[in-house]
Amino acid sequence: MSSDERPRVTPLPPAGASWLDRPGTIRVLWIAFIAVLAITVAAELLVHLHPRFRLERWFGFHAAWGFLSCVAMVLFANLLGIFLRRPDDYYAQRPEWPDGEERSGD
Protein backbone atom coordinates (compact mmCIF):
# COMPACT_ATOMS: atom_id res chain seq x y z
CA MET A 1 0.00 0.00 0.00
CA SER A 2 1.55 3.32 -1.02
CA SER A 3 1.28 6.49 1.00
CA ASP A 4 -1.43 7.80 -1.35
CA GLU A 5 -3.73 4.85 -0.66
CA ARG A 6 -3.83 5.13 3.14
CA PRO A 7 -7.26 5.78 4.59
CA ARG A 8 -7.65 9.24 5.98
CA VAL A 9 -8.11 9.23 9.74
CA THR A 10 -9.54 12.26 11.49
CA PRO A 11 -8.26 12.80 15.02
CA LEU A 12 -10.80 12.45 17.79
CA PRO A 13 -11.42 15.43 20.04
CA PRO A 14 -10.08 15.13 23.59
CA ALA A 15 -12.30 13.57 26.24
CA GLY A 16 -14.76 16.02 27.70
CA ALA A 17 -14.71 18.20 24.57
CA SER A 18 -17.82 19.99 23.40
CA TRP A 19 -20.19 18.39 20.91
CA LEU A 20 -19.17 21.17 18.52
CA ASP A 21 -15.65 19.70 18.32
CA ARG A 22 -16.80 16.50 16.62
CA PRO A 23 -16.08 16.41 12.85
CA GLY A 24 -19.51 14.91 12.10
CA THR A 25 -21.28 17.71 13.94
CA ILE A 26 -19.30 20.36 12.11
CA ARG A 27 -20.29 18.82 8.77
CA VAL A 28 -23.97 18.75 9.75
CA LEU A 29 -23.81 22.39 10.86
CA TRP A 30 -22.24 23.45 7.54
CA ILE A 31 -24.94 21.60 5.58
CA ALA A 32 -27.68 23.17 7.70
CA PHE A 33 -26.14 26.62 7.33
CA ILE A 34 -25.93 26.34 3.53
CA ALA A 35 -29.50 25.01 3.37
CA VAL A 36 -30.82 27.96 5.40
CA LEU A 37 -28.97 30.39 3.14
CA ALA A 38 -30.36 28.72 0.00
CA ILE A 39 -33.90 28.77 1.40
CA THR A 40 -33.52 32.44 2.29
CA VAL A 41 -32.44 33.33 -1.24
CA ALA A 42 -35.16 31.12 -2.77
CA ALA A 43 -37.78 32.80 -0.58
CA GLU A 44 -37.22 35.91 -2.66
CA LEU A 45 -39.28 34.18 -5.37
CA LEU A 46 -42.29 33.91 -3.05
CA VAL A 47 -42.15 37.26 -1.29
CA HIS A 48 -43.18 40.48 -2.98
CA LEU A 49 -40.38 42.98 -2.49
CA HIS A 50 -40.71 46.75 -2.72
CA PRO A 51 -37.47 47.80 -4.41
CA ARG A 52 -36.54 51.45 -4.33
CA PHE A 53 -33.61 51.15 -6.73
CA ARG A 54 -33.13 49.26 -9.99
CA LEU A 55 -30.37 47.09 -8.48
CA GLU A 56 -32.74 45.78 -5.83
CA ARG A 57 -34.86 44.14 -8.52
CA TRP A 58 -32.09 41.63 -9.32
CA PHE A 59 -32.63 38.13 -7.97
CA GLY A 60 -30.33 37.50 -5.01
CA PHE A 61 -29.27 41.14 -4.74
CA HIS A 62 -29.76 41.30 -0.97
CA ALA A 63 -27.74 38.11 -0.39
CA ALA A 64 -24.93 39.41 -2.59
CA TRP A 65 -25.05 42.81 -0.88
CA GLY A 66 -24.79 41.20 2.55
CA PHE A 67 -21.90 38.97 1.47
CA LEU A 68 -19.95 41.83 -0.10
CA SER A 69 -20.58 43.99 2.97
CA CYS A 70 -19.18 41.24 5.19
CA VAL A 71 -16.11 40.88 2.98
CA ALA A 72 -15.58 44.66 3.10
CA MET A 73 -15.80 44.66 6.92
CA VAL A 74 -13.24 41.86 7.19
CA LEU A 75 -10.84 43.64 4.83
CA PHE A 76 -11.27 46.91 6.72
CA ALA A 77 -10.66 45.16 10.06
CA ASN A 78 -7.45 43.62 8.71
CA LEU A 79 -6.29 47.01 7.42
CA LEU A 80 -7.12 48.61 10.76
CA GLY A 81 -5.22 45.83 12.54
CA ILE A 82 -2.07 46.75 10.63
CA PHE A 83 -2.15 50.26 12.10
CA LEU A 84 -3.23 49.28 15.62
CA ARG A 85 -0.96 46.24 16.05
CA ARG A 86 1.38 46.24 19.04
CA PRO A 87 4.33 43.95 19.79
CA ASP A 88 3.54 40.68 21.56
CA ASP A 89 5.29 41.84 24.74
CA TYR A 90 3.66 45.30 24.72
CA TYR A 91 2.08 44.97 28.17
CA ALA A 92 5.04 43.10 29.67
CA GLN A 93 7.45 45.95 29.01
CA ARG A 94 8.23 48.09 32.03
CA PRO A 95 8.48 51.82 31.55
CA GLU A 96 11.87 53.34 32.25
CA TRP A 97 11.64 55.98 34.93
CA PRO A 98 13.89 59.03 34.62
CA ASP A 99 15.39 58.57 38.11
CA GLY A 100 16.26 54.90 37.47
CA GLU A 101 14.20 53.62 40.44
CA GLU A 102 11.77 50.74 40.19
CA ARG A 103 8.19 51.50 41.09
CA SER A 104 5.93 49.00 42.82
CA GLY A 105 2.26 48.46 42.11
CA ASP A 106 2.60 46.68 38.76
> How far apart (Å, rounded) are the C-alpha atoms in residues 63 and 59?
9
Give me the torsion for CA of 3, 5, 6, 10, rounded to 10°: 110
Domain count, the chain: 1
Cβ contact 37:63 at 8 Å: yes
In a domain, 60, yes or no: yes
CA 20 to the chain's CA centroid: 16
In tens, the pLDDT along 72-99 reads: 999 999 999 999 988 888 777 666 666 6
Mean pLDDT of the chain: 83
Query: The domain containing residue 77 runs over which residues?
Result: 18-84
Residue 41 lies in a domain: yes
Q: How far apart are CA 55 and CA 52, in angstroms?
A: 9
Is position 98 within any domain?
no
pTM of the model: 0.57
Rounded-to-integer distance, Cα 49 and Cα 56, Å = 9
